[in-house]
Structures are given as C-alpha cells and as structure tokens.
Structure 1
Amino acid sequence: MSKSWNHNRAVEHIDKKMADVEDVTIKDYTRDMSLESIPTNVAYRVNGVHMYVDIQNLQDMLETTQVEGTDCHKRTLRFLDQHYRAVKRILNQVDARRVDFHSQRLHSLFTKPYNSETDAEKKRVQRAVATAQLIIDVLAETGDDVEKIPAAKVRIGIDTGLSLAVNNGRNGYREPLFLGDPANHAAKLASNNSARGIYLTNASRNAIGLAEQDSPEKTPLTVEQIQTCQEAAKLGVTNDEIVEEWREDLKNNPIGGYQFTRQTPPLCDMDISKLTPANSKRQEMVSTYADIDGFTAYVAENIDDNAEDVVRTLHVLRAELERVVTSDFKGRRVRFIGDCIQALTCDGTAHNTDEQKSVSEATRLAGALRSSFNLAIERLGTKGYETGELGLAIGFDLGPISITRLGKHGDRIRCAIGRKVIESENRQCACKGTETAIGQAAYDAATDAVKTLFGTPRKTANLDYVEATEALADKGDESAKQARSEAYAGAPAVILANDREVRPYAITVAGKSNQF
C-alpha cells in the first residue's frame, strides 16, 4: 500500500478527538498545582514571565565544513549539549522552569511569586533579567578549545503576562505548553536580528518601571538597568559557581562520542526515547514544519472569555496533524513547538535514501496536512466552536539530518539538527496561512511534476491532498500514480457528471460529494 490520506478516516479521528475535549475546565494556576501531565481537557491560566534564549551561532557550527558530513553534526550536537546542560543548571538554581529546548532556542518560565499583583510581576521580571545575564556570562565560558566548540552567542527576549498552559506531547513525552502573547512575543524578540543582548517587551519594561520604546526589539537593556535587576533579584548564585559545577558535571557525566546509524524507513518505527549520543540516527531526510498561522492572535482574542474553545481547537488540530504524519505517511513527529509540528520523513532502504521519492511523498504529505487542517476547522465549526481566522503555513526541505537526545541520563531532550532543518523552518516562516514552500535542495532532487507544482518561486497556495496527488500523477510521478491507482481499486475509472470527468476517489479522500 502507498501512503495516502482518506477523508472518512480523517473525519473519524477528528470527531474522536473532539469528544475528548467536549467538556473543558479552565483553572487559575496556583502554587499547589503541578504543570506535569496536565489532563487533555484541562488548561491553567498562568501569570508568568517567559524568557527565550536564542543561540545565534548554530548555523555557523553547521557550516564549519564545506560538506555537511558527520564531523560538523557531531560538533554541533556537542555544542548544543554543553550549553543545554549549563543553562539547565542555571534554571534549577534560580527556581525557573525549562519549557523547551528546540535546537538553538531555549524557552523558560518564571512563575514565582505566584500571584498576579504588580509587585509580584515586577519581581518575576527582575529575576528573569538577572537570570538572562547569568546565562550570558556562563555561556561565554563554556566553549571547548580542544573540541573546537565555541562559546554560544546569544540574544534573549523577555515578556510577561497571562498565558494558557495545556498538555504538550503524547506517548511518554508530555510537558506543558504555554499559549498566548508572552511566549510568542519573547520568542520574536529573541530571534529578531543579529544584535546580542537582553530585550524586553514594553509590558516587561513597564513592570520594572522602564520607559516604553517604539522599537523594543532594537533597544537592549543597559548595563545599569541589568545591574538594578540583579541587585533586586538576589539570585544567590554566581557565574563562577555555575561554571565550576558544570565542569564537574561534565567530568562525572561525560557527553560521550556521537555515533550514528541509519533508521530503516519508515521513520514512524524510530523510538526517539531510546536515542543517546552513542545511539544517534543520521541520514538524508525531509524536514517539515507546519505552523498554525494566526494562532497567537486567536489565543489573545479568546483567552479571557472563551479559553475552552482554544483548548479544543489546539487539541484537535495537533492530534490530527500528528496522525497524518505518523499514520498516513509513516513519518516521525519530532516535537510540537507551540502550535507548530516538526516532522521528519524518508523513503528508501536501510542503506540509501530515495531522495526523489522522499520529496514526492513529502509534497503529498503537505497536501494531506492541509486537507486535514481544513477538515478539522470545518468540523469544529459545525459544533459551534470558535476557531478564528486560522491557516496552516508549511515548509519542507531535504538534506542530512541527525536525531538524538541531549543532556544526561534521566534528563534528556530530543533534538534534530541539520542545515535543512533550519531551512525548512525558514521556508515555513516565509509562508502565509494558505501557502506551502519547498526548499532549494528538495526542489533540485524532485521530479519534474513536483517542480511544476511549486514553480520557480518554490511556493504554492491552497495545496491540498487531492490537488497534490492529481497534479503529480498526471505528470507521471510514480508515487502519486501508485496512490491514485490504489484509491481507484474496485471503483469505476471515471464517472460522468454534468459532462465533467470526476475521479471517484476524490469523494472518499476529500469528501467532495457536491461534485455530482
């Protein structure tokens, strides 16, 4: 059987997931609540400060060699591992929470003091700023000249406010996800441009008595402003103490040499929870990012009076997008990054990747993701749930990708790195909510049918599963022809309706019975 998407199968799964969240409970987060393993139908309103640390020289690490071979990947993974361990140690010492570490971006949260009073918010922001400077100081000393690991160059963004905490992840990889403006704005500040430093949104600046700025992304905190926060926060830990403990930790829990083997396709069989530095995976794969466009604005509009529908919409969309990746197209979800899914796919053998087929299947996967997204929005609407003006922006590219887990035993986090991982995210970020974009490497490896579909801009709008499969099959793409042939099995080749040819499988995969 080929990889395929089916309308009826999608409907069944979407309806099942809607039933999971028919009754949603929203609670205010207080000191006696755990953010671990939040039930699917529960969300917490959390007042907190969100901090994003963006490592700006990750791309440089990946490009230390002309060819993207194992050496630059091993060095990059060690680079990330060392810096993750250092930052995690800092967060533990200052009583902050690591939310996620996605390649070059680390997201953390400060919730103490717990209440929402102005003075408590001021203390949280001051603590975040003091921690940010501690991170900058520590990471400046955690390079390794012997291993040719440079110090991390970082830019840090901070925002404060109300967010919704919901469950993020499945199948043993469950942790809180924070929805709303604070996390999003902090992330944008951190990744805004090349200038380093600590950047605060105007909400955060107001909280600690600083004047608002017309362009806060261009206004780093001054040395004096940082010192004021450090004196107020009294973190109780120094740069030298963290570095000494970090070095002792590395000695007692060495990172170890990275060893790579290939994962025999399909990638859905890969158990990421078993990966370690000595048992890492590396091969040519397609990296796909699918981001729910407009979600931050949607959360902001509904967080006060209709948070229940936010929880319902997110749960249904993410569950269905993951099903399409893992079940329909036999790929592997790496993680959810907020309202975005990061996935990997590959076709071929235990020894070689069939690059052309991998790109064809990734193209049809992108179409299937959009078909399921549109169908989920439609069915949520029939239930009367508010879904706002959401879209799906998709980007993908092909190249060597390494997958492993960083950190020491008992505290490991998954990581997928590669030049085309970064490029696939860049392609997604350049898309509107109706668009799908293909990277240059994937485009170069693609069939003529795929190249025609995306054109010279390497971007197309409203590409759903039927359009992707039909367009590729009509131009001789073997993967699409096989999928269409299997869908036709047992049905008449063509049905005439109003003097038009209607392909029968379009009814079952796209639900377009109104064609008749």
Structure 2
Amino acid sequence: MSKSWSHNRAVEHIDKKIADVKDITVKDYVRDMSLESIPTNVAYRVDGVHMYADIQNLEDMLNITHVEGTDCHKRTLRFLDQHYRAVKRILNRVDARRVDFHSQRLHSLFTKPYNSDTDAELKRVQRAVATAKLMIDVLAQTGDDDEQIPAAKLRIGIDTGLALAVNNGRKGNREPLFLGDPANHAAKLASNNSAKGIYLTNAARMAIGLTEKDAPEKAALTNEEIKDCQDAAKLDVTADEIVEEWREDLKNNPIGGYQFTRQTPPLCDMDISTLTPANSKRQEMVSLYADIDGFTAYVAEHIDDNAEDVVRTLHVIRAELERVVTSDFQGRRVRFIGDCVQALSCDGTAHTTDEQTTISESTRLAGALRSSFNLAIERLNAKDYETGELGLAIGFDIGPISVTRLGRQGDRVRCAIGRKVIESENRQCACSGVETAIGQAAYEAATDAVKDLFGKTRKIANLDYNEATEALADKGDESAKQARTEAYAGAPAIILADNREVRPYAITTAGESDNS
C-alpha cells in the first residue's frame, strides 16, 4: 500500500478533534499556576515578557566544510549543546523559563512579578534586558578552541504583552506554547538581520521609559540603556560565575562524542525521546515546514473576546497536520514551533535514501497537508467557530540532516540540523498562505514530473492532494501512479447509463466525484 490521503479518514479525525475541544476554559494566569502539562481544553492568558535569542553563526558552523559531512554536523551539534547548557543555567538563575530551543533560536519568558500593572511590566522588561546582556557576555566565553567551537554571536529581540498559553506537544514532550503578538514580534526582531545586539519592540521600549522608534529593528539598545536595566534588575549572578559553573558542569557531565546511525524508513518509527549524542540519527531526508499563515493576527484579534475559538482552531489543525505527516505519509514530526509544524520525510532502505521517491512523496505530503488544512477550516466553520483568514505556507528541501537531543540527562531538547533544514524554513517563510515551495536541491534531484509541477519559480499556489497526485501520475511519476492505482481500486463503483462500471479516483480523495 502506497502513502495516501483520504477525505473520509481526514473528516473522521478532524470531527473527533473538534469534539475533544468542544468545551474550552480560558483562565487568567496568576502566581502558583503551573504551565506544565496544560490540558488540551484549557488555555491561560499570560501577561509577560518574551525574549528570543538568535545564534547568528549557526550557518557558519554548518558551512565550516565544503561538503556537508559528519564533521560539520558534529561540530554544530556540540556548538549548540554547549551554548544551550550555558543559557539554560542562566535562565534557572534569573527565574525565567525556557519555552523552546529550536536550532539557533531560543525562546524564553519572564512572568515575575505577576501583576499586570505598569510597574510590574517595567520590572519584567528590565530583567529581560539584563538577562539578555548576561547571555551575550556568557556565550562570548563558551567557545572551545580545542574542538573548533566558536563563541556564539547573538541578536536578541524582546516584546511585552498578553499571550495565550496552551499545551504544546504530545505524550512525554508536553510544554507550554505561547500564541500572540509578544512572542511573534520578539522572534521577528531577533531574526531580522545580521546586526548583533538587544532590540526591543516599541511596546517594550515604552514600558521602560524609552522613546518609540520608526524602525525598532534597527535601534539596538545603547550600552547606557542596557546598564540602566542591569542596575534596576540587580541580577544575583555574574557572567564569570555562570561560566565557571558551566565549565565545572561540562567536566562532570561531558557532552560525549556524537555517533550517527541511519533510521530505517519509515521515519514515523524513529523514537526521538531515546536519542543522545552517542545515539543520533543522520541521513539524506526531506525537511518540511508547514506554517499557519495569519495566525498571529488572528490571535491578536480574538484573544480578549473569543480566545476559545483560537484554542479550538489551533489544536484541531495541528493534530490533523501531525496525523497526515505520521500516519498517512509515515514521516516524523520533529516539533511544533508556535503555529508551525517541522517534519521529516524519507523513503529508501536501511542503507540508502531513494531521493526521487522521497521528493515525490514529500510533494504529495505537502498537497495532503493543504487538503487537510482546508478541510479542518471547513469543518470548524460548519460548527460556527471563528477561524479568521488563515492559510498554510509550506516549504521543503532535501539534504543530510542529523536528529538528536541536546542537554544533560533529564533535561534534553530535540534538535534536527542541516543546511537544508534552514533552507526549507526559508522557503516556507517566502510563501503566502496558499503557496508551497521546493528548495533548489530537491528540485534538481526530483523527477521531471515534480519539476514540471513547480516550474522555474519552484513555487506553486493551491497545491492540494488531488492536484499533486494527478499531476505527478499523469507525467509518469511512479509513486503517484501507484497511489492513484490503489485509489481507483478502492473507490466505490458507479454504474453509468450504458451499464459501464467506473471507479472515480476523486471520490476517495475529495469526498465527491468530479464526473457528471
């Protein structure tokens, strides 16, 4: 049986998920509330300061060698591991929480003091700025010349305001996810361009008495402005103390050598929760990002008057996208990054990746994700739930990718790195909410059918499962032809007026026949 998407399967799963979130409770977050393991039908309104720290020289590490072999991946993972340990130690000492550490991007949150008044917000922003400076100072010292690990170059973005905290993840990988303007704006500031420094949105600037800027992404805090925040925050730790503790921790809990083995396809069998440096995975595979376009604006519009529908929409769409990746196409969801799904796909054997099949199946996977997304919106709207003007932006590419977990035993975070991981995210970011884009490497290695589908721009609008499968099958793509043949065989027969029997392919994939 080939990988395939079914309208009926999708409807059944989406309707079940809608029923699971029929009753949603939204609470205001106050002291002593736990953000761990938030139930699916609960969300918290959290007033806090969000900080994103972007390590700007990750790509330099991945490109340290001409060929993307194991050496550059090992150094990059060690680079990330060392810096993650240092940053986690800082956050523990300043009473902030790590939200996510996604490759080069660290998201953290400051909620104390808990009050919603302007004085509490002032103190939170000052503490975030002081912590950002501490991170910069510490990570400037946490390189390793012997291992050819450079110091990290940081650009940090900070915003303040109200966000929705919901459950992020499945089973043993549960942690809070924050939806809304402050997390999104801080992330955009951090990843804006190559200039280092600490950058505040106008909301955060005003909270600490600074003037607004027409282009806050170009207005790094001055040394004097940072010093004022440090003096006010009075952090009870110095960079030298953190570095000394970090070095001692590395000595007592060494990272260990990275060892790679291949994951025999299908990737859905990969248990990321068991991976360690000595048990990491690496092979040629597709990295795919699918981002819910327009979601931040949708959250901002409804966070006060209809947060319940925001929570419903997010959980239903994400659960269905994950099902398509893991169940329909036997891929592996790496993580949810806000309203974005990061996934991996690979076809082949224990020894080799079948690149053309992997790319063809990933093209059809992208189409299936859009079909399920559109269907989820349709089913939510049928229940009179408000879904705003959302879309799905998809980008993917193929190349060597390493999958592991960083950090110490008991405090590890999952990580998938590779040049094409970065490129697939870049391709997704360049898409509108109706577009799917393929990276240059995947395009060059693809079948002629895939190349014809995406064209010279390597981007296509409104690519759903039917179109992807039919277009590829018509051009002789073997994966798509097999899927179409099996769909024909399983479709219910229709008896025409002349007693001929037909089995329209569209019935099993779109719920109704296009034949009339």
Q: Corresponding residue for 1:306?
A: 306
Q: Corresponding residue for 1:108?
A: 108
Residues 1:213 and 2:209 are matched in the alignment: no
The alpha-carbon deviation at position 204 of structure 1 amounts to: 0.2
Q: Corresponding residue for 2:189?
A: 189
SS in 2 for 1:407: strand
Q: Corresponding residue for 1:445?
A: 445
Residues 1:127 and 2:91 are matched in the alignment: no
Q: Corresponding residue for 1:233?
A: 233
| Partner Cα separation in structure 2 for residue 471 and residue 496 of structure 1 | 26
* Shift in alpha-carbon separation, 1:435–1:369, aligned structure 2, 3 A: same
* Shift in alpha-carbon separation, 1:133–1:496, aligned structure 2, 3 A: farther
| Aligned residue identity for 2:437 | A
Q: TM-score, normalised by structure 2?
A: 0.98
| Partner Cα separation in structure 1 for residue 157 and residue 422 of structure 2 | 20
SS in 2 for 1:108: strand
Within 5 A, what are the aligned runs for 1:86-485?
86-485=86-485
SS in 2 for 1:112: coil
| Partner Cα separation in structure 1 for residue 59 and residue 349 of structure 2 | 29
Write the deviation string for residues 144-203 of structure 1: whole angstroms up to 9, x where unpaired: 000000000010000000000000001211000000000000000000000000000000
Write the deviation string for residues 361-390 of structure 1: whole angstroms up to 9, x where unpaired: 000000000000000000000000000000
| Partner Cα separation in structure 1 for residue 417 and residue 473 of structure 2 | 32
Task: Check the 8 A contact 2:493/2:502 in 1, yes or no.
Answer: no
| Aligned residue identity for 1:269 | D
Identity %: 86
The alpha-carbon deviation at position 490 of structure 1 amounts to: 4.8
| Partner Cα separation in structure 1 for residue 69 and residue 325 of structure 2 | 27
* Shift in alpha-carbon separation, 1:116–1:503, aligned structure 2, 3 A: farther
Q: Corresponding residue for 1:510?
A: 510
Q: Corresponding residue for 2:82?
A: 82
| Partner Cα separation in structure 2 for residue 492 and residue 249 of structure 1 | 63
| Partner Cα separation in structure 2 for residue 165 and residue 216 of structure 1 | 26
RMSD over aligned CA atoms reads: 1.3
SS in 1 for 2:173: coil
Task: Check the 8 A contact 1:75/1:149 in 2, yes or no.
Answer: yes
Write the deviation string for residues 91-123 of structure 1: whole angstroms up to 9, x where unpaired: 000000000000000000000000100000000
Gaps of 5+ in 1: none
Q: Corresponding residue for 2:67?
A: 67
| Aligned residue identity for 2:186 | A
| Aligned residue identity for 1:274 | T
| Partner Cα separation in structure 1 for residue 213 and residue 455 of structure 2 | 42
| Partner Cα separation in structure 2 for residue 75 and residue 490 of structure 1 | 49
* Shift in alpha-carbon separation, 1:496–1:417, aligned structure 2, 3 A: farther
Task: Check the 8 A contact 1:159/1:183 in 2, yes or no.
Answer: yes
The alpha-carbon deviation at position 269 of structure 1 amounts to: 0.2
| Partner Cα separation in structure 2 for residue 280 and residue 183 of structure 1 | 31
The alpha-carbon deviation at position 512 of structure 1 amounts to: 3.2
* Shift in alpha-carbon separation, 1:480–1:514, aligned structure 2, 3 A: closer
Task: Check the 8 A contact 1:449/1:477 in 2, yes or no.
Answer: yes
The alpha-carbon deviation at position 505 of structure 1 amounts to: 2.3
Task: Check the 8 A contact 2:103/2:417 in 1, yes or no.
Answer: yes
Write the deviation string for residues 308-341 of structure 1: whole angstroms up to 9, x where unpaired: 0000000000000000000000000000000000
| Aligned residue identity for 1:322 | E
* Shift in alpha-carbon separation, 1:68–1:502, aligned structure 2, 3 A: farther
* Shift in alpha-carbon separation, 1:476–1:122, aligned structure 2, 3 A: same
Write the deviation string for residues 338-370 of structure 1: whole angstroms up to 9, x where unpaired: 000000000000000000000000000000000
SS in 2 for 1:167: strand
The alpha-carbon deviation at position 494 of structure 1 amounts to: 8.8
| Partner Cα separation in structure 2 for residue 292 and residue 508 of structure 1 | 26
Task: Check the 8 A contact 1:82/1:142 in 2, yes or no.
Answer: yes
* Shift in alpha-carbon separation, 1:502–1:233, aligned structure 2, 3 A: farther
| Aligned residue identity for 2:380 | L
| Aligned residue identity for 1:346 | C
Q: How many residues align?
A: 513
The alpha-carbon deviation at position 513 of structure 1 amounts to: 4.2
| Partner Cα separation in structure 1 for residue 43 and residue 429 of structure 2 | 28
Residues 1:6 and 2:6 are matched in the alignment: yes
Task: Check the 8 A contact 1:495/1:504 in 2, yes or no.
Answer: no
Task: Check the 8 A contact 1:502/1:515 in 2, yes or no.
Answer: no
| Partner Cα separation in structure 2 for residue 456 and residue 78 of structure 1 | 38
| Aligned residue identity for 1:40 | T
The alpha-carbon deviation at position 223 of structure 1 amounts to: 0.3
Q: TM-score, normalised by structure 1?
A: 0.98
| Partner Cα separation in structure 1 for residue 409 and residue 151 of structure 2 | 24
Write the deviation string for residues 77-96 of structure 1: whole angstroms up to 9, x where unpaired: 00000000000000000000
* Shift in alpha-carbon separation, 1:11–1:492, aligned structure 2, 3 A: closer
SS in 2 for 1:172: helix
| Partner Cα separation in structure 2 for residue 489 and residue 360 of structure 1 | 21
Task: Check the 8 A contact 2:491/2:507 in 1, yes or no.
Answer: no
* Shift in alpha-carbon separation, 1:189–1:483, aligned structure 2, 3 A: same
| Partner Cα separation in structure 1 for residue 308 and residue 250 of structure 2 | 45
| Aligned residue identity for 1:190 | A
| Partner Cα separation in structure 2 for residue 41 and residue 369 of structure 1 | 24
| Aligned residue identity for 2:81 | D
Task: Check the 8 A contact 2:54/2:155 in 1, yes or no.
Answer: yes
* Shift in alpha-carbon separation, 1:122–1:482, aligned structure 2, 3 A: same
The alpha-carbon deviation at position 508 of structure 1 amounts to: 1.9
Q: Corresponding residue for 1:486?
A: 486
SS in 1 for 2:408: coil
| Partner Cα separation in structure 2 for residue 70 and residue 31 of structure 1 | 46
Q: Corresponding residue for 2:46?
A: 46
The alpha-carbon deviation at position 507 of structure 1 amounts to: 1.5
| Partner Cα separation in structure 1 for residue 6 and residue 401 of structure 2 | 29
| Aligned residue identity for 1:117 | D
Write the deviation string for residues 409-434 of structure 1: whole angstroms up to 9, x where unpaired: 00000000000000000000000000
| Partner Cα separation in structure 2 for residue 337 and residue 106 of structure 1 | 11
